[in-house]
């Protein structure tokens, strides 16, 4: 049975909106530099998973006063796929897999104003690298993403690179970089939790290879988890995030896609997080930035791993809603959508 494997995509953005008209959509994204395998490991060849027979829904359940609500079983959750309740399974233990982390930092545009914050990021990565098998790579980008530091468990290498960032050109190709980062993470062993930490300015400037609809599809197929932290959100957007429980999500697959694309135009960072089941938060100061990184790493691991086989695996974007059978007054964070491709067979990456 083909399983949509769990990956984590962690995005720290300062609020993003769509690039302006006239960008060259449809061009091929520059190839990802192949990372070198770490000593004692074997890099898995990624497969093209084109059939969704089991969907994984990492779910955070946070008590009203703070802290994680533990001990829940399958009967304690209700999961709906396009409004239809599903038969689910819940893994007994919280996620304990090692992490493959890609840190993608903007070097172009206005990012130089944030270099001081980024220089202090290195030690905070320990929350993701606590397992000795975990590894981190560093990507920089302006108009084009590029690999700065290959995968290793040495956080100090990344810290040194972050302290020596140099301003790039005027570009900030955020959509292309997210695409690039996910592709780079797909080279990592399948049992790892893939995390992309993206730090960027407010607007996408210069993405030429990745359409928003293609990124929605890629995230939906790969089970990435997006945690977004915005530098300067609007108060109205924050209020919407706090109030959005998923009650008003439409059940039409076409409407789901249209609404997602419209939401991307308002705040891409928030919507990418919502699509994947991640969190959206903000920071203004260095202290707040550090707290958001630590909390994001903690919450990424304290999630129930819920799976289900769709009762109606129709191709396209499906809306997911997760709630508890009993009202605990808890905050529930779970992916909003997944993408079903139809009944094709699994093929190798060379095809």
Stretch among 3-7, 54-58, 220-224, 300-304 having the lowest mean pLDDT: 3-7
Residue 285 has a CB neighbour count (10 Å cut-off) of 9
Q: How many CB atoms lie within 10 A of CB 290?
A: 16
- 263: three-class secondary structure by DSSP: helix
335 CB-contact burial (10 Å; exposed 0-12 / middle 13-18 / buried 19+): buried
pLDDT in tens, 86-99: 999 998 776 678 88
**Mean pLDDT of the region 180-185:** 88
- Which pLDDT does position 339 carry in this prediction? 87
215 within 8 A of 173, measured Cβ to Cβ: no
Q: What confidence score (pLDDT) does residue 273 get?
A: 66
Residue 148, pLDDT > 90, answer: yes
Whether the per-residue pLDDT at 183 is higher than 60: the answer is yes
Average pLDDT, integer, range 253-263 = 64
Question: What pLDDT sits at residue 222?
Answer: 75
Neighbouring CB atoms inside 10 A of 321's CB total 19
Q: In whole angstroms, how far apart are CA 172 and each of 57, 143, 263?
A: 31, 5, 20
Alpha-carbon gap, residue 45 to 350, rounded angstroms: 9
Mean per-residue pLDDT, 255-283: 65
- Please state, rounded to an integer, the average pLDDT across all residues of the chain: 74
Looking at the DSSP assignment, which residues form a beta bridge with residue 56? 307
With bands split at pLDDT 50, 70 and 90, how would you rate the model's confidence at 133? Answer: very high
Contact 107, 164 (CB under 8 A): no
In percent, the amount of the chain with pLDDT more than 70 equals 62
Q: Which residue has the higher pLDDT, 230 or 70?
A: 70
Select 11-19+48-348's CATH number: 3.40.50.2300, 3.40.50.410, 3.40.50.10470, 3.90.226.10: 3.40.50.410
Q: If DSSP codes are grouped into helix, strand and coil, which group holds residue 231?
A: coil
Decide: 104 and 139 in contact? Cβ < 8 Å.
yes
Q: Is the pLDDT of residue 60 over 70?
A: yes
Higher pLDDT, 317 or 87: 87
Least confident of 101-110, 193-202, 315-324: 193-202
Q: Given a cut of 60, is residue 192 above it in pLDDT? A: yes
């Amino acid at each position: 049975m083909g399983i949509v494997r769990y990956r984590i995509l962690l995005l720290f953005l300062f609020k993003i909106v769509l690039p302006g008209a006239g960008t060259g959509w449809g061009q091929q994204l520059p190839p990802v530099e192949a990372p070198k395998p770490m000593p004692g490991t074997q890099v898995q060849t990624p497969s093209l998973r084109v059939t969704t027979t089991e969907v994984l829904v990492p779910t955070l359940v946070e008590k009203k006063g703070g802290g994680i609500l533990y001990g829940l079983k399958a009967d304690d959750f209700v999961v709906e796929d396009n409004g239809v309740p599903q038969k689910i399974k819940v893994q007994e233990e919280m996620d304990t897999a090692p992490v493959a982390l890609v840190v993608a930092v903007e070097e172009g545009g206005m990012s130089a104003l944030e270099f001081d914050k980024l220089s202090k990021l290195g030690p905070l990565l320990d929350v993701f690298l606590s397992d000795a098998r975990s590894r981190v790579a560093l990507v920089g980008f302006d108009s084009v993403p590029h690999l700065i530091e290959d995968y290793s468990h040495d956080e100090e290498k990344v810290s040194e690179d972050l302290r020596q960032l140099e301003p790039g050109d005027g570009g900030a190709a955020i959509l292309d970089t997210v695409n690039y980062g996910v592709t780079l993470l797909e080279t990592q062993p399948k049992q790892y939790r893939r995390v992309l930490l993206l730090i960027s300015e407010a607007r996408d400037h210069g993405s030429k290879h990745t359409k928003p609809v293609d990124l929605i599809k890629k995230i939906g197929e790969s089970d990435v988890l997006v945690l977004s932290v915005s530098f300067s959100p609007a108060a109205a957007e924050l209020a919407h995030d706090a109030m959005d429980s998923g009650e008003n999500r439409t059940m039409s697959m076409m409407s789901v896609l249209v609404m997602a694309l419209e939401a991307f135009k308002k705040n891409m960072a928030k919507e990418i997080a919502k699509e994947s089941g991640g969190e959206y938060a903000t920071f203004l100061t260095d202290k707040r930035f550090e707290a958001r990184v630590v909390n994001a790493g903690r919450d990424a691991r304290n999630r129930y791993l819920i799976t289900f086989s769709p009762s109606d695996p129709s191709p396209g974007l499906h809306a997911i809603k997760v709630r508890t059978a009993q009202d605990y007054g808890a905050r529930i964070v779970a992916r909003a959508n997944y993408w079903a491709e139809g009944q094709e067979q699994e093929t190798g990456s060379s095809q």
